[in-house]
Amino acid sequence: MTRTVQQLFDLTGRTALVTGGSRGLGLQMAQALGEAGAKVMLSARKADELEHAVQQLQAAGIDARWCAANCADPADVTRLADEALARLGPLDILVNNAGASWAAPAEDLPLDAWDKVMNLNVRGYFLLAQQVGKKSMIPRRKGAIVNVASIAALGGNPAGLNMLAYNTSKAAVLNFSRTLATEWGHHGIRVNAICPGFFPTKLTHGAIENMGADKMAAGTPLGRLGGDEDLKGAVLLLASDAGQHITGQGLVVDGGVSAVVGG
């Protein structure tokens, strides 16, 4: 007998690790997974922000815990994977969300800034997926990895933004997700990306301030920026059995911006 829609989206008994989970999009996605029944571990660099976020989730009845780690540091990534497995048990879901950006004209972009963005946004995703894959998902022949890319992966900068390193890194995340999906599909592991548009977060504050929130909102077919609920459905679809036949895809959640010709 086929399962109901509610059963397909149910994550009861599943475990999830969400990086960059102390605020913004990461916390929103962690909340969605927890509300669907998953046990959740949040990771970010700052312990105080993680503790506050976990308290928020626990107050909502979600089984949550945290581990501070720098996903640009290979040793920290290994430690994070090991601690998540020790405290949660086998991992069913990995959400790679930790990220950095740097705004500067291409001709003035410092090499250390380029490396900072690439090391966290691309290398960090690879390292953690590799650790979780080898230590949990491949042996169990199942798992769902959701990598957070961006609509910045789909083209160049809007006028007034100088985000070469960020855009390049997010394009890499999108193709990393497609390629890993083709390699690990036979292990029963699905790998997808979410490509958010502009959401008001600490990471996007400078860009939104530079271009103007009202102007940016007016440029979307839906007439608004992303909100506190707008990634919940996307991550739940890709992490749950409701998306069991979806892999190697980039799901765009941008209010229609990428659908506008010449936008």
Q: Is the pLDDT confidence value at 22 over 80?
A: yes
What pLDDT does 1 receive?
Answer: 87
What pLDDT does 135 receive?
Answer: 98
DSSP for 102-141, written as a single string: --B-GGG--HHHHHHHHIIIIIHHHHHHHHHIIIIIHHHT
Q: How would residue 204 be classed by pLDDT, with cut points 50, 70 and 90? A: low
What pLDDT does 118 receive?
Answer: 98
Listed range (24-33, 179-188, 252-261) with the worst mean pLDDT: 252-261
pTM: 0.94
Question: Under DSSP, is residue 5 helix (H, G, I), strand (E, B) or coil?
Answer: helix
Instruction: Give the chain's mean pLDDT.
Output: 94
Structure tokens at 233: 């459905």
What pLDDT does 206 receive?
Answer: 61
Q: Is the pLDDT confidence value at 10 over 90?
A: yes
Model confidence pLDDT, tens digit, residues 84-101: 999 999 999 999 999 999
Q: By the 8 A CB rule, do 114 and 165 touch?
A: yes
What pLDDT does 200 receive?
Answer: 83
Q: Mean pLDDT, to the nearest integer, of 198-223?
A: 74
Model confidence pLDDT, tens digit, residues 226-251: 999 999 999 999 999 999 999 999 99
What pLDDT does 211 receive?
Answer: 65
Q: By the 8 A CB rule, do 195 and 177 touch?
A: no
Q: Is the pLDDT confidence value at 159 over 70?
A: no
**% of the chain exceeding 70 in pLDDT:** 94
Q: Which positions ≥6 away from 147 have C-beta within 8 Å?
A: 95, 96, 125, 129, 173, 176, 177, 191, 192, 193, 194
How much is the CA Rg of the chain, to the nearest whole Å? Answer: 18
What pLDDT does 99 receive?
Answer: 95
Sort 25 into a burial class: Cβ within 10 Å, 0-12 / 13-18 / 19+: buried
How far from the centroid of its chain's Cα atoms is residue 123's Cα?
14
Listed range (98-102, 129-133, 194-198, 200-204) with the worst mean pLDDT: 200-204
What pLDDT does 186 receive?
Answer: 98
| Residues that are catalytic | 166
Question: Under DSSP, is residue 49 helix (H, G, I), strand (E, B) or coil?
Answer: helix
Residue keyed to tokens 């230590």: 135
Model confidence pLDDT, tens digit, residues 40-80: 999 999 999 999 999 999 999 999 999 999 999 999 999 99
The runs of H, that is alpha helices, within the chain are 5-9, 24-35, 47-59, 74-88, 111-118, 124-132, 138-140, 164-184, 205-211, 213-218, 232-239
Complete domains list, the chain, with CATH: 5-255 (3.40.50.720)
